[in-house]
Structure 1
Amino acid sequence: MRRWSRTLAEEAVTAERIAELPVWRGRLAQAPEPLAQLTVDPSRDLTRTQRSITMALPADTTRTLLTRLPEMFRASVNDVLLTGLTLAVADWRRRHFGGATGGLLVALEGHGREEIAEHTELSRTVGWFTSVYPLFLDPGRTDWGEVWTGGATVGDVLARIKEQLRQVPDNGIGYGLLRHLNPDTAPSLRGLAEPQIGFNYLGRFDTSAAPEAADWALAPEAGAVGGEDPDMPVAHALEVTASTQDRSDGPELSVLWQWPSALLEESVVRDLAQAWIRALEALARHADTPQAVRHTPSDMDLIDVSQEELDQLASELDDWQ
């Protein structure tokens, strides 16, 4: 652990990491209008002041979102879930403010176990190292009628979000290095906008067997999210934490929405949560549409090709067949 900490400090001042600074500044400069008028106050907004709601998707929809759709787009579960969240926030803004919806500025949390240096051995450690980095996701021009029917627009948005996520180097670990461990770059990031929404997908947990029959089990008092200090300041106006519970009747995608009571009304969060469920259901429906399989530029390691060129090639191949 000491060696890893030193490695992070050394990595933070390398020329390669410092070269990422304009990228992170550019992402934070694209912040849309905030969800809440107030900002997080560390002295007021503590874990114990948070309210929460939980929503879940049934097994059939969950299977599609976690297996079929990622396979068809060569995408990750995070790609799918963040596409749904981007659409949900865009729809919420559209319905409440009209006009252009803008994108989503979100803080994405990861495990932080990135192999950024040679001879780094992390297999003898346990737990999350945790990296958090800002991400601006732009759904592009959206035909909302096609979105809700699971039409072509949904596939376009998923392909676009997937490519935007692929542009993040080393799963975003560089942001924390530049923001917290490099005294020369930290000031230029400190004064920029902070994401109001935090997102974390915790992964899959087998809850189908009795705890005593499993190799390990979640502590019942902590749940999938884990225990938190009630006096710890919250990081964001809205935290979205997803996990999959493998139950006896199939997998269930569960999403916990948490927010400080001083910042948001429950009706606002429920509206967003329901829009997110609706967007994920639309994504699942898209998996059943003809020609839903989609390649994107990041799938092509040996050539430089655009999404438009790939779609044209796929269309010509379908015509030939």
Structure 2
Amino acid sequence: APTAYRTRVNDVLLAALALALARWTGRDRVRLDLEGHGREDLLDGVDLSRTVGWFTTVYPVALQVPDPGDLGPDRDWRSLVKSVRRQLRAVPGNGIGFGALRTFGPPEVRERLGGAAHSQVVFNYLGQWDARPETADGGLVRAEHGSFGQDHDPRDPGSHPVEVVGAVQHGRLAFTWHHRPGVHDTATVRRVAEEFADALRHLARHARGGR
């Protein structure tokens, strides 16, 4: 799909997610937080590719979704992706300045951004885990073995009421939807997740030239 639409995979995934969220809320404009790797190419001569450490950015976006009621095969899926892509491109530096301003900006800016509540949903696409080499070949990392226990403290409710986290592993694109049952009904979240998956299937068929 990124090749067919001449865009990044994140744009395609977010187009499907924005449509599912718009159908859930009944609104054609949805707000969500995006989590990124934080290694943006902002400064000339600065190479972070060999820098060890955890970098991350979390920033809000509001996406306008054209015709959110249509989830059928005859929808203009290309226009949906182009619209979301255009809106995401309007975010400077992939959002890295939001956290910087909230932490180091002038006092009035810090107060305004610090008081802004989280969105209800956070999205994080982790990329292709399969791209990692299975053998060392002189490198430091061989393979990722997965979790040997719980990833999070069970008492940690998470940063957002709904967290949508995905990656490609073993040749499959998979997303996990974390939610708080006391806030959102599990059946409702499952329905939204299924509509997200349906939208992705339509996008994949359209990208291949089918219906």
TM range, normalised to the smaller chain?
Answer: 0.7 to 0.9
SS at match of 2:174: strand
Give the direction of change, closer, same or farther, for the CA distance of 1:166–1:208 in structure 2 (3 Å limit): closer
Q: Number of matched residues?
A: 208
Residue of structure 1 in register with 2:129 after alignment: 205
SS at match of 1:220: coil
Candidates 186, 195, 202, aligned match of 1:266: 186
SS at match of 2:129: strand
Do structure 1's residue 281 and structure 2's residue 197 form an aligned pair? no
SS at match of 2:159: coil
Instruction: Name the aligned partner's letter for residue 92 of structure 2.
Output: P
Aligned-residue offset at 1:78: 0.3
Give the direction of change, closer, same or farther, for the CA distance of 1:242–1:222 in structure 2 (3 Å limit): farther
Residue of structure 1 in register with 2:176 after alignment: 256
Contact 1:142 1:153 in 2 (8 A): no
Instruction: Name the aligned partner's letter for residue 128 of structure 1.
Output: W
Higher Cα Rg, which structure: 1
SS at match of 2:197: helix
Do structure 1's residue 235 and structure 2's residue 167 form an aligned pair? no
* Deviation larger for 73-82 or 209-218: 209-218
Residue of structure 1 in register with 2:38 after alignment: 112
Residue of structure 2 in register with 1:169 after alignment: 92
Aligned-residue offset at 1:221: 2.0
Residue of structure 1 in register with 2:120 after alignment: 196
Give the direction of change, closer, same or farther, for the CA distance of 1:143–1:181 in structure 2 (3 Å limit): same
**Larger relative contact order (Cα-Cα within 8 Å, sequence gap ≥ 6):** 1
Contact 1:103 1:139 in 2 (8 A): yes
Q: Give per-residue Cα distances to partners, 1:29-68, cap 9 Å, x unaligned.
A: xxxxxxxxxxxxxxxxxxxxxxxxxxxxxxxxxxxxxxxx
Aligned-residue offset at 1:110: 0.6
Aligned-residue offset at 1:102: 2.4
Q: Give the Cα separation in 2 of the matches to 1:188 and 1:203.
A: 32
Give the direction of change, closer, same or farther, for the CA distance of 1:211–1:103 in structure 2 (3 Å limit): farther
Q: Give the Cα separation in 2 of the matches to 1:122 and 1:207.
A: 19
Instruction: Name the aligned partner's letter for residue 85 of structure 1.
Output: L
Give the direction of change, closer, same or farther, for the CA distance of 1:256–1:179 in structure 2 (3 Å limit): same
SS at match of 2:205: helix
Contact 1:238 1:257 in 2 (8 A): yes
Do structure 1's residue 178 and structure 2's residue 63 form an aligned pair? no
* Deviation larger for 114-123 or 156-165: 114-123
Do structure 1's residue 85 and structure 2's residue 17 form an aligned pair? yes
Instruction: Name the aligned partner's letter for residue 160 of structure 1.
Output: S
Structure 1: runs of 5 or more not aligned? 1-68, 95-100, 293-321
Aligned pairs for 1:50-89 within 5 A: 69-89=1-21
Give the direction of change, closer, same or farther, for the CA distance of 1:91–1:111 in structure 2 (3 Å limit): same
Residue of structure 2 in register with 1:23 after alignment: none
- Determine which structure has the larger helix proportion and give its number: 1
Instruction: Give the alignment's Cα RMSD to 1 decimal.
Output: 2.9
Contact 1:92 1:275 in 2 (8 A): no
Contact 1:143 1:153 in 2 (8 A): no
Q: Give per-residue Cα distances to partners, 1:166-197, cap 9 Å, x unaligned.
A: 11111110100111222421111233342110
Q: Give per-residue Cα distances to partners, 1:246-299, cap 9 Å, x unaligned.
A: x3xxx2110000012321211111011111111111111212448x9xxxxxxx
Contact 1:90 1:102 in 2 (8 A): yes
Candidates 107, 112, 126, aligned match of 2:52: 126
SS at match of 2:80: helix
Aligned pairs for 1:1-12 within 5 A: none
